[in-house]
Structure 1
Amino acid sequence: MKIAVIAALALATSFSAAWAQDVIITPERETVIREYIKKKPLASITLPGVELNVGTALPETVEVHSIEGVPDVTYQYVVIDNKTVLVEPGTRKIVKIYN
């Protein structure tokens, strides 16, 4: 019985940890993304009532822009409140915020 409880707790903990993990962007990709964003600046928009946090999903009304011509980078970006926000295309969730 104790083993089953321990196994269940371990499994639940691993699922929680997976949900809490940040997206890891390699230093090389980070540099490429930052350079791309500097070369292709966007006008800043405001989103009243939306908190800019990693994991927050942006509304469908927000136009996000692809990072084109960069191998192995599928993220999109938008500038909100003068902060560049990196977004996962499928979920529209914020994965990184640049100040």
Structure 2
Amino acid sequence: MKVIGVKNILSPAIAGLMMCGGVAVAMAQDVIIAPEQETVIREYVKKKPLASISVPGVELNIGSTLPETVEVHRFEEVSDVTYEYVIVDNRTVLVEPGTRKIVKIYD
């Protein structure tokens, strides 16, 4: 009978978890915004500025979800931008409508 050590069991398990974590991070960063859209977004935010808010207890990271208490805004009269936005700590934060997940942060 062969004895299997704890190291032999944990190493593959840890490697598997790390790979899953890497996939989750990659999925959170999959949003690609075309340069034309970037320009439209930046110009829109300059023309129609919002007051900056702070969201205590929420880390601003791609993939994080904004709470329902945070009011997000649509890009009115801009047909090719499907995201919504809010200004948090003087940074423009793009979120997916419905899920409220952060997809892009502009400094």
Q: What TM bracket, shorter-length normalisation?
A: 0.7 to 0.9
Aligned residues: 87
1:22 match: 30
Which of 81, 88, 91 is the equivalent residue of 2:89? 81
Question: Structure 2: which amino acid aligns with 1:94?
Answer: I
CA contact (8 A) 2:95 2:103 kept: yes
Structure exhibiting the larger radius of gyration computed from Cα positions? 2
4+ runs of 1 displaced by more than 3 Å?
A: none
Q: Deviations over 1:42-79 (max 9, x none)?
A: 10111111000011000000000000111221111101
Which of 37, 44, 47 is the equivalent residue of 2:55? 47
Question: Structure 2: which amino acid aligns with 1:37?
Answer: V
User: What is the Cα deviation at residue 20 of structure 1?
Assistant: 4.1
Query: Normalising by structure 2, what TM-score?
Result: 0.73
Rounded Cα–Cα distance in structure 2 between residues aligned with 1:20 and 1:43: 27
Query: Normalising by structure 1, what TM-score?
Result: 0.79
Identity of aligned residues (%): 76
Q: Does 1:92 align with 2:97?
A: no
Q: Does 1:71 align with 2:59?
A: no
